[in-house]
Amino acid sequence: MTGRRTRARAAAATAVMTGCALLLAGCGIKRTGVIESGHAAAVKVPGGKNAAVLYFVSKDGDRLVPVPFSIGADYTLAPTPLLRLLLNGPIGPASAAGLTTALPKVPDAKTDTVTVSKNSQDKGLTANVPFAVADLSPMALNQLVCTVGASAVPDTRSPVAVHGTDTTLPAADCRTSQR
C-alpha cells in the first residue's frame, strides 16, 4: 500500500519535472543546423547563354571557376579552338581576377596537335593533347573535361575522354568542385 503510494507520487513528481524541463527547454531562440531554403539565385551573365565557357582554377586552388568566352552573339566557338584557348591559360580579366590553370603550357609548335574528335562508339568526345595525361592532377583533368564537355555540343553535357602522349583516359563527366 505504502509502496504503491510512494511509487505513484514518484511518477507524478517525474511527470511534473519533465513538463517543467520541456517548458524551459522551449524558451528563447535556439541555434539550428544548416537548413536548405529554396533554389540558388539565377543571374544574367552577358552572352552567357550561348558563350563557350572555359574553366580555370580559383585562387584557393580548390575549385573550378567558369569564364564565358564570346566572340559575338551569333557565333559559337568550335570545340578545338576552345580547347586551344583553355591550354593558353587565363588572360585579361580572368588573370586579373587571380584565376590560374593546372594544365601544362603547350608550345606554339605543338598547337596543331590539340584537337577534339567525336567518339565513334558513343555520344562522347575525345580531347587530344600533346602531353602525358596519366599524371595530371584531378583539377587539371576536370578543366579539360568540363570545358570540352559543357560547350562542344549545344544543350548537352557530354562525357569526355582524354588522349595524351602516353595513354587515353576513359570518358568522365564534369565536376567543378573537388568535394
Partner 1 sequence: MRRIAPLGLRTRLIAAFLLVAAISAGTTAALTYQQARNAILKQTQDTAVSTLRDQIEQQEFRLPLEQQELQRIVIELGKRGKPHPWIVFGEYAGTRVSTNPGTPTSTVITDSLRDKVRNNQYAVFQRVEDQRGNPWLTIGVPAVFEHNGYPEPTGVVFYASVPLSTEKQTVEAMVEAAQQGAVPGLAIAIVPALLAARSVLRPVRDMRRAAQKLGRGRLDTRIEVRGADELAGLARTFNETARALEQSVHELQEAEVRARRFASDVSHELRTPLAGMLAVTEVLDEDAARLDSDTAKALRLVSAETGKLAVLVEDLMEISRFDARAAELNLDDVDIAEAVRKTLERRHWDDDRVVTELPDAVRARLDPRRFDVVLANLVGNALRHGGAPVRVTVRTAPGEDGERLLIDVADSGPGIAPEVLPHIFDRFFKADAARTRSAGSGLGLAITLENVRLHGGTLRAGNLPGGGALFTLDMPLEARV
Q: Residue 55 forms beta bridges with which residues?
A: 66
Binding mask 130-159 for partner 1 (x = CB under 8 A): --------------------xx--xxxx--
Q: Which of 3, 32, 107, 135 binds partner 1 (CB under 8 A)?
A: 32
Least Å distance between CB 33 and partner 1? 7
CA distance linking residue 140 with residue 82, whole number of Å: 15
| 96 binds partner 1, rule: CB under 8 A | yes
Q: Which of 58, 80, 88, 119 binds partner 1 (CB under 8 A)?
A: 58
Stretch that binds partner 1, among 78-86, 97-105, 137-145, 164-172 (CB under 8 A): 97-105
Alpha-carbon separation of residue 3 from 6, 7, 16, 66, 126 (angstroms): 5, 6, 20, 75, 83
Least Å distance between CB 50 and partner 1? 8
Q: Which of 48, 71, 105, 166 binds partner 1 (CB under 8 A)?
A: 48
The x, y and z cell numbers of residue 14, run together, are: 517525474
Query: What letter represents residue 131's amino acid?
Result: F
Q: Which of 1, 5, 30, 170 binds partner 1 (CB under 8 A)?
A: 30
Neighbours of 160 (CB within 10 A): 29
Q: How far is C-alpha 167 from the geometric centre of its chain's CA atoms?
A: 25
| 4 binds partner 1, rule: CB under 8 A | no
| 109 binds partner 1, rule: CB under 8 A | no
The x, y and z cell numbers of residue 88, run together, are: 593558353
Length of the chain equals 179
Query: What letter represents residue 76's amino acid?
Result: T
Residue written as grid cell 510512494: 6
Q: Which residues of the chain form contacts with partner 1 (CB under 8 A)?
A: 16, 19, 22-23, 26-46, 48-49, 51, 53, 56, 58-60, 63-68, 93-94, 96-99, 150-151, 154-157, 176-177, 179
